A = this chain, B = another copy of it.
Amino acid sequence: MPSRASRPTAASPDALGVGGPRSEGTRRTILDAARALFAARGYEQTTIRAVAGQAGIDASMVMRYFGSKAGLFAAAATRDLDPPDIAGVPARGRGEALVRHFVNRWEVDPSEDMLVFLLRTAVTDGSVAEQLQTTFDRIVVGPLTALDYPDAERRAALIGSQLMGLALCRYILQLQPLASLSGDEIVAGLAPAIQRYLTQPMTGA
C-alpha cells in the first residue's frame, strides 16, 4: 500500500470538542493503520512510528491526534460490531448459524474483526481482557439470553471458549491443519458441537 498522501480537505467544522478538531481523513487513515498493526503484531510490537509510517505521516502526528499510544489503542478499539441474528433462525440451525456468522466475518479479513483484534491484545494486556469480556457479553451472551435459553451465561461461556479457540488457532497461531481447512469445513466440524452447547442439559448447578 503506497503512502496515500491524500488531501484531507480540511474537513467540515463538525461537532468536535474544542480541544482540537483535526482532519477527519487522516484521523481515519491513522486508525485503520493502527487497527491493522495492532491486530497483526499485538500491542507491544506495534510502534507509533510504524503506525505513522503505514499512514504515510510523521509519528508526532499520531501523538497530536490521539495523545498517546494508549489513547490510540483506545480509539482503535472502539468500533461497532453487529451481534449475530440467530433469533430469525429455527432452533435446530442456531448452532450452525452462530459458527457461520463468525467464520464468514473472519474469512474476509481476520485483522479487520474486532474480536480477533481484541483477542490478540488482550493476551498481553489485562485491561483489554476486560474490554473483551464486555464485547463478548454483548455479542454472544446477549443474543442467547434474549432467546430465554436456560443457563445462558454458562452456555455462552462454553460456546465462547470454542469460538475463541478457533479464532486463536486458525487466524492468529495458524496451526495446522486448522488454518488450511475451508470455511465450510470449519463450520461443518464445529456446528454440531456448538448446537450441543446450546441444547444439552446442564449438570451441576
A residues touching B (Cβ–Cβ < 8 Å)? 41-42, 44-45, 120, 122-124, 129, 132-133, 136, 153-154, 157-158, 160-166, 168-170, 172-178, 181-182, 184-185, 188-190, 192-193, 196-197, 200, 202-205
Contacts and interface: CB of A to CB of B under 8 A. Distances in A.
A174 B129 CA distance: 8
Given A44-B45, A124-B41, A173-B122, A160 B178 contact: yes
12 contacts: A123-B123, A129-B173, A132-B175, A133-B173, A154-B177, A158-B189, A161-B165, A185-B203, A189-B197, A189-B202, A192-B200, A196-B196
Contacts of A200: 192
A160 B203 CA distance: 23
Nearest to A132: B173
A79 to B, nearest CB: 20
**Main secondary structure on A side of the interface with B:** helix
Given A122-B173, A136-B175, A193-B196, A161 B157 contact: no
A70 to B, nearest CB: 15
B170 A161 contact: yes
Contacts of A204: 182, 184-185, 188
Contact of A154 (B161, B181, B202): B181
A160 B169 contact: yes
Given A165-B166, A168-B164, A124 B45 contact: yes
Residue among A153, A203, A205 with the highest chain B CB neighbour number at 10 A: A203
A172 B172 CA distance: 16
